[in-house]
Amino acid sequence: MTDTPTLPEPPDLAATVFAALKDKAHLANGPRMMLGVLAGVYIGLGGLFAIIALAGAEAMPFGVGQVLAGLVFAMGLALVMIGGAELFTGNTLMAGPVAAGEVAPGRAAAALAVVYAANFAGSVLLALLVLAAGLHEAGEGAVGRAALDLGATKTDQGFGAMLASGILANMLVCLAVWLAYGGKTVTQKLAGLTLPIAAFVAAGFEHSVANMYLLPYAWMVQAVTEGAGAAITASGVLANLVAATIGNLIGGAAIALAYWFAYLRD
């Protein structure tokens, strides 16, 4: 009979997360780009799963479909954390090692920029593949309608609302990443990351990397769907990504700096 692995105490967990982020900041650009593309694909696969869950959600009481979508979307972060990949939103926690003097600000900014671009490339590549596979036609078009509804909702907001939503989204995502680092087994990592991810998706908060897949995919579905109109525009997609990205940076930095201040400040 084996003992259950002991979970780290919060100060030790903070040190573990900061050490991992320091390693990420010093990763060579070749592996960083490849792992960033993979993360874009992985988070997009979570988004794909969530859209399938939302197809037909109008037949359920409000909240049920949203929570289900959140639970299945957690697959995306599970692939990133357990399979290994570089995700922009989780890497915004680099603000902690920067504050601790372990990573130079310029190095952190450059690492984040490369990962952001790679995440976008992976997300759009997946969107093109999913469109080519005809998934939007599944369920007599229910999947396509769910993608269109989600895309229209996400792009029909004011900048301030999207910014605040981005902050909240990445606070939850970074807490999910934080808890996953605390797990010693696959089961523990899954248990740690699932509920924070389910919460942000169910609430409809704005996650820049998820939206890199969801919004281009919805825009593409709109283009090939007769009578869909033009509710989703390229300018609307861009505005969402800008606001969500700024909000995600703030939300991730807030979590990292709070734990740095509490546990790792000299």
Q: What is the pLDDT of residues 98-126, one digit of tens each?
A: 999 999 999 999 999 999 999 999 999 99
Domain spans, the chain: 10-264
Q: What is the pLDDT of residues 40-80, one digit of tens each?
A: 999 999 999 999 999 988 878 888 999 999 999 999 999 99
Q: What is the pLDDT of residues 195-243, one digit of tens each?
A: 999 999 999 999 999 999 999 999 999 999 988 888 999 999 999 999 9
Predicted pLDDT of residue 4 = 66
Query: Can you tell me the distance from the alpha carbon of 49 to that of 126, in angstroms, rounded to the nearest whole number?
Result: 13
Query: Can you tell me the distance from the alpha carbon of 245 to that of 90, in angstroms, rounded to the nearest whole number?
Result: 12
Chain centroid offset of residue 206 CA: 9
How would DSSP label each residue in 133-197?
HTGGGHHHHHHHHHHHHHHHHHHSS-HHHHHHHHHHHHHHHHHHHHHHHH-SSHHHHHHHHHHHH
User: 1 pLDDT exceeds 80?
Assistant: no
Query: Can you tell me the distance from the alpha carbon of 202 to that of 195, in angstroms, rounded to the nearest whole number?
Result: 10
Name the region of 240 (left: φ>0; alpha: ψ -120 to 50; beta: rest). Answer: alpha
Class of the domain covering 10-264: mainly alpha
Cα R_g (the chain), whole angstroms: 18
Chain mean pLDDT for the chain: 95
Cβ-proximal residues to 48 (8 Å cutoff; 6+ apart), any chain: 126, 130, 135, 213
Cβ-proximal residues to 130 (8 Å cutoff; 6+ apart), any chain: 44, 48, 136, 217
Predicted pLDDT of residue 228 = 82
Q: CB–CB of 89/14 below 8 Å?
A: no
For residue 81, the 8-state DSSP code is I
- Give the pTM: 0.95
